[in-house]
Amino acid sequence: MDNFLLEVPVGVSGRHVHLSKEHLNILFGNDYELTPIKDLGQPGQYAAKETVTIIGPKGILEKVRIIGPTRSASQVELSKTDCFKVGVNPPVRDSGVHEGSPGCILVGPEGVVKLEKGVIIASRHIHMLPEDAEKYGLKDKDMVKVKVDNERGLVFENVLVRVSTTSGLEFHIDTDEANACLLKTNDSVKVLR
Protein backbone atom coordinates (compact mmCIF):
# COMPACT_ATOMS: atom_id res chain seq x y z
CA MET A 1 0.00 0.00 0.00
CA ASP A 2 1.35 3.42 -1.00
CA ASN A 3 1.00 6.36 1.38
CA PHE A 4 0.79 9.97 0.23
CA LEU A 5 3.72 12.00 1.59
CA LEU A 6 3.76 15.44 -0.05
CA GLU A 7 3.17 17.41 -3.23
CA VAL A 8 6.16 18.65 -5.24
CA PRO A 9 6.41 21.02 -8.22
CA VAL A 10 7.61 19.65 -11.56
CA GLY A 11 10.65 20.85 -13.50
CA VAL A 12 10.74 19.63 -17.11
CA SER A 13 14.21 19.51 -18.68
CA GLY A 14 14.47 19.87 -22.44
CA ARG A 15 17.58 18.61 -24.23
CA HIS A 16 20.64 20.55 -23.10
CA VAL A 17 24.41 20.55 -22.81
CA HIS A 18 26.81 21.18 -19.95
CA LEU A 19 30.33 22.15 -21.11
CA SER A 20 33.76 21.89 -19.55
CA LYS A 21 35.83 25.07 -19.60
CA GLU A 22 38.14 23.44 -22.15
CA HIS A 23 35.27 22.58 -24.52
CA LEU A 24 33.68 26.02 -24.10
CA ASN A 25 36.98 27.55 -25.22
CA ILE A 26 37.18 25.31 -28.29
CA LEU A 27 33.55 25.88 -29.30
CA PHE A 28 33.28 29.63 -28.58
CA GLY A 29 36.88 30.92 -28.43
CA ASN A 30 39.51 31.36 -25.73
CA ASP A 31 38.36 32.76 -22.37
CA TYR A 32 34.76 32.88 -23.57
CA GLU A 33 32.17 33.56 -20.86
CA LEU A 34 28.60 32.23 -21.10
CA THR A 35 25.77 34.80 -21.05
CA PRO A 36 23.05 33.87 -18.51
CA ILE A 37 19.52 34.58 -19.79
CA LYS A 38 17.41 32.70 -17.24
CA ASP A 39 17.95 31.32 -13.74
CA LEU A 40 16.89 27.70 -13.28
CA GLY A 41 15.15 25.98 -10.36
CA GLN A 42 18.44 24.85 -8.85
CA PRO A 43 20.50 27.70 -7.31
CA GLY A 44 23.45 28.91 -9.42
CA GLN A 45 22.34 27.07 -12.57
CA TYR A 46 21.25 29.14 -15.56
CA ALA A 47 20.24 28.79 -19.20
CA ALA A 48 22.82 30.52 -21.36
CA LYS A 49 22.17 32.58 -24.48
CA GLU A 50 24.61 30.31 -26.31
CA THR A 51 23.62 27.09 -28.09
CA VAL A 52 25.48 24.31 -29.90
CA THR A 53 24.68 21.89 -32.71
CA ILE A 54 24.74 18.18 -31.87
CA ILE A 55 25.66 15.72 -34.62
CA GLY A 56 25.22 11.96 -34.36
CA PRO A 57 25.38 9.00 -36.78
CA LYS A 58 21.81 9.53 -38.02
CA GLY A 59 20.92 13.17 -37.51
CA ILE A 60 21.46 16.66 -36.18
CA LEU A 61 19.90 18.71 -33.37
CA GLU A 62 20.34 22.44 -33.85
CA LYS A 63 20.27 25.24 -31.25
CA VAL A 64 20.66 22.98 -28.22
CA ARG A 65 20.75 25.15 -25.10
CA ILE A 66 23.89 25.32 -22.93
CA ILE A 67 23.30 25.24 -19.16
CA GLY A 68 25.91 27.12 -17.12
CA PRO A 69 28.15 27.40 -15.27
CA THR A 70 30.87 25.17 -16.77
CA ARG A 71 31.51 21.77 -15.19
CA SER A 72 34.49 19.44 -14.83
CA ALA A 73 33.23 17.28 -17.74
CA SER A 74 30.92 18.03 -20.66
CA GLN A 75 27.55 16.25 -20.62
CA VAL A 76 24.75 16.05 -23.21
CA GLU A 77 21.26 15.26 -21.88
CA LEU A 78 18.82 14.01 -24.53
CA SER A 79 15.35 12.49 -24.46
CA LYS A 80 14.88 9.02 -25.97
CA THR A 81 12.94 10.74 -28.79
CA ASP A 82 16.02 12.90 -29.51
CA CYS A 83 18.23 9.80 -29.40
CA PHE A 84 16.28 8.09 -32.21
CA LYS A 85 16.71 11.21 -34.34
CA VAL A 86 20.45 11.57 -33.67
CA GLY A 87 21.19 7.85 -33.78
CA VAL A 88 22.70 7.32 -30.33
CA ASN A 89 21.68 4.80 -27.68
CA PRO A 90 22.73 6.21 -24.30
CA PRO A 91 21.93 4.71 -20.90
CA VAL A 92 19.56 6.27 -18.36
CA ARG A 93 22.00 7.85 -15.90
CA ASP A 94 22.38 10.19 -12.97
CA SER A 95 24.11 13.42 -13.90
CA GLY A 96 27.89 13.07 -13.97
CA VAL A 97 28.02 9.27 -14.41
CA HIS A 98 29.55 8.90 -17.89
CA GLU A 99 31.20 5.45 -17.77
CA GLY A 100 30.05 3.48 -20.82
CA SER A 101 27.97 6.32 -22.29
CA PRO A 102 28.29 7.25 -25.99
CA GLY A 103 29.68 10.49 -27.37
CA CYS A 104 28.68 12.82 -30.21
CA ILE A 105 29.98 15.80 -32.18
CA LEU A 106 29.42 19.29 -30.76
CA VAL A 107 29.68 22.29 -33.09
CA GLY A 108 29.97 25.91 -31.98
CA PRO A 109 30.72 29.15 -33.83
CA GLU A 110 34.47 28.83 -33.31
CA GLY A 111 35.15 25.11 -33.30
CA VAL A 112 34.19 21.47 -33.11
CA VAL A 113 34.51 18.96 -30.24
CA LYS A 114 34.39 15.20 -30.67
CA LEU A 115 32.93 14.13 -27.34
CA GLU A 116 34.07 10.54 -26.55
CA LYS A 117 31.43 10.01 -23.84
CA GLY A 118 28.91 11.97 -21.78
CA VAL A 119 25.66 11.60 -23.76
CA ILE A 120 22.99 10.39 -21.31
CA ILE A 121 19.25 10.14 -20.79
CA ALA A 122 18.81 11.77 -17.38
CA SER A 123 17.34 9.71 -14.52
CA ARG A 124 14.27 11.33 -13.05
CA HIS A 125 14.72 12.44 -9.45
CA ILE A 126 13.35 14.67 -6.71
CA HIS A 127 15.53 17.42 -5.26
CA MET A 128 14.82 18.09 -1.62
CA LEU A 129 16.24 20.17 1.22
CA PRO A 130 17.24 18.32 4.44
CA GLU A 131 14.38 19.96 6.39
CA ASP A 132 11.78 18.71 3.87
CA ALA A 133 13.31 15.22 3.84
CA GLU A 134 13.25 15.01 7.63
CA LYS A 135 9.68 16.28 7.83
CA TYR A 136 8.47 13.45 5.58
CA GLY A 137 10.76 10.69 6.85
CA LEU A 138 12.93 10.55 3.75
CA LYS A 139 16.70 10.47 3.30
CA ASP A 140 19.17 10.87 0.43
CA LYS A 141 19.01 8.00 -2.14
CA ASP A 142 15.57 6.79 -1.01
CA MET A 143 13.34 5.52 -3.81
CA VAL A 144 9.74 6.75 -3.95
CA LYS A 145 6.81 6.78 -6.38
CA VAL A 146 5.32 9.87 -8.02
CA LYS A 147 1.64 9.97 -8.97
CA VAL A 148 0.27 12.16 -11.77
CA ASP A 149 -3.52 12.72 -11.67
CA ASN A 150 -4.97 13.64 -15.07
CA GLU A 151 -6.50 11.96 -18.13
CA ARG A 152 -3.09 10.54 -18.99
CA GLY A 153 -2.44 9.80 -15.32
CA LEU A 154 0.29 7.41 -14.25
CA VAL A 155 2.58 6.49 -11.37
CA PHE A 156 6.33 6.81 -11.91
CA GLU A 157 8.14 4.10 -9.94
CA ASN A 158 11.84 4.02 -8.96
CA VAL A 159 12.13 7.77 -8.39
CA LEU A 160 15.37 8.75 -6.65
CA VAL A 161 15.33 11.27 -3.79
CA ARG A 162 18.36 13.59 -3.69
CA VAL A 163 18.75 15.51 -0.45
CA SER A 164 21.13 18.47 -0.40
CA THR A 165 21.32 21.92 1.15
CA THR A 166 21.62 23.56 -2.26
CA SER A 167 18.54 22.22 -4.04
CA GLY A 168 14.97 23.42 -3.80
CA LEU A 169 12.04 20.98 -3.82
CA GLU A 170 11.48 19.88 -7.43
CA PHE A 171 10.66 16.71 -9.44
CA HIS A 172 12.95 16.63 -12.49
CA ILE A 173 11.80 14.78 -15.61
CA ASP A 174 12.63 14.97 -19.29
CA THR A 175 10.31 15.95 -22.17
CA ASP A 176 9.33 12.34 -23.00
CA GLU A 177 8.23 11.72 -19.42
CA ALA A 178 6.42 15.08 -19.29
CA ASN A 179 4.65 14.62 -22.62
CA ALA A 180 3.61 11.04 -21.80
CA CYS A 181 1.48 12.40 -18.95
CA LEU A 182 0.92 15.99 -20.12
CA LEU A 183 2.99 17.60 -17.33
CA LYS A 184 4.45 21.09 -17.55
CA THR A 185 7.01 22.90 -15.38
CA ASN A 186 5.40 24.09 -12.11
CA ASP A 187 2.58 21.52 -12.26
CA SER A 188 2.17 19.64 -9.00
CA VAL A 189 2.58 15.87 -8.44
CA LYS A 190 2.14 13.57 -5.44
CA VAL A 191 5.00 11.68 -3.80
CA LEU A 192 3.96 8.21 -2.55
CA ARG A 193 5.78 5.67 -0.48
Question: Using CB under 8 A as the criterion, which residues of the chain lie in contact with its own copies when the complex forms?
Answer: 1, 79-81, 84, 92, 124, 151-158, 175-177, 179-182
Instruction: Give the nearest distance from C-beta 89 to its own copies in angstroms.
Output: 11
> What are φ and ψ of residue 6, in 5° steps?
-165, 165
Q: How far is the CB of 97 from its own copies (least distance, A)?
A: 13
**Cα separation, 108 vs 111, whole angstroms:** 5
**Comparison of 112 and 180: residue with beta carbon closer to its own copies:** 180
Which residue number, 24 or 148, has a Cβ lying nearer to its own copies? 148
Q: Which is nearer to its own copies, 15 or 23 (CB)?
A: 15
Q: How far is the CB of 152 from its own copies (least distance, A)?
A: 6
Half-sphere exposure of 181 (CA within 13 A, CB side): 20
> Which C-beta is closer to its own copies: that of 176 or that of 187?
176
CA atoms of 60 and 56, how far apart (whole Å): 6
- Residue 157: strand, helix, or coil: strand
Sequence-separated (6 or more) residues with CB below 8 Å from residue 54 = 15, 17, 60, 61, 64, 76, 78, 86, 104, 105, 106, 107
Instruction: State the nearest-atom distance from the C-beta of 176 to its own copies, in Å.
Output: 4
